[in-house]
């Protein structure tokens, strides 16, 4: 959870909601992610999704059997769906999300029909995780208040704009992943990307 907290702090410094996630398999971190929906202009760029994508690339398999995902905030339904598809073994989260946290859904009616279930543990370092979220919210509220008092009434301009993200970091990570794959497999991967 310590690594996820560091990623959450980094995301918060970029103007994102401070959420971080790591995927651990066989005692090693195989995927990391910080929240980036604002900077990436991508509503699916949650910390969990980024960590799962990177873990799958590193494992060279979209199934992450036996893996544990650690995240600082209770996941939303989209992220839980991705975890089901990835076949993780366990989810460990820090702070509870009363608005869109969806882990309670896993124990209800139709969730029992899912083709994969995993263990869920909530509340690990919850106070520390929640403190990050509260601190960022206080900073945003203060910035908005200062702008209103200064004559600027547009709350959207009060939000810190993260640096422009053209996806270059992801492309560099992809290229490193591709270069580590044997040449025969690399050709197959590149042809799949060109079609999709």
In DSSP notation, 40-83 reads HT-TT--HHHHHHHHHHHHHTSS--TT-EEEEEE---HHHHHHH
pLDDT score at 191: 39
Confidence band of 184 (pLDDT split at 50, 70, 90): very low
- Contact of 96 with 123, CB cutoff 8 Å: yes
pTM: 0.73
- Contact of 66 with 94, CB cutoff 8 Å: no
pLDDT score at 9: 96
- The residues carrying an active-site annotation are 48
Is residue 181's pLDDT more than 60?
no
Q: Left if phi > 0, otherwise alpha if psi is -120 to 50, otherwise beta: which for 87? A: left
Note the pLDDT tens digit of each residue in 132-148: 999 988 888 887 877 77
| Three-state secondary-structure class, residue 11 | helix
């Amino acid at each position: 959870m310590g690594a996820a907290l560091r990623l959450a702090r980094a995301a918060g410094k970029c103007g994102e909601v401070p959420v971080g996630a790591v995927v651990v398999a066989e005692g090693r971190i195989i995927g990391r992610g910080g929240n980036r929906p604002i900077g990436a202009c991508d509503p699916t760029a949650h910390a969990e999704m980024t960590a799962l994508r990177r873990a799958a690339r590193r494992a060279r398999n979209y199934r992450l059997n036996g893996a544990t995902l650690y995240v600082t905030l209770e996941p939303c339904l989209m992220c839980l769906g991705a975890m089901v598809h990835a076949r993780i073994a366990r989810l460990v989260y820090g702070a509870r999300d009363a608005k869109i946290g969806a882990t309670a859904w896993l124990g209800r009616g139709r969730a029992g029909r899912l083709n994969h279930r995993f263990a869920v543990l909530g509340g690990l370092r919850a106070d520390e995780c929640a403190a990050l979220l509260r601190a960022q919210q206080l900073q945003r509220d203060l910035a908005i208040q200062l702008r209103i008092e200064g004559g600027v009434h547009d709350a959207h301009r009060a939000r810190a704009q993260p640096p422009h993200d053209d996806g270059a970091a992801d492309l560099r990570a992809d290229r490193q992943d591709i270069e580590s794959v044997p040449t025969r497999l690399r050709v197959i991967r590149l042809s799949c990307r060109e079609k999709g």
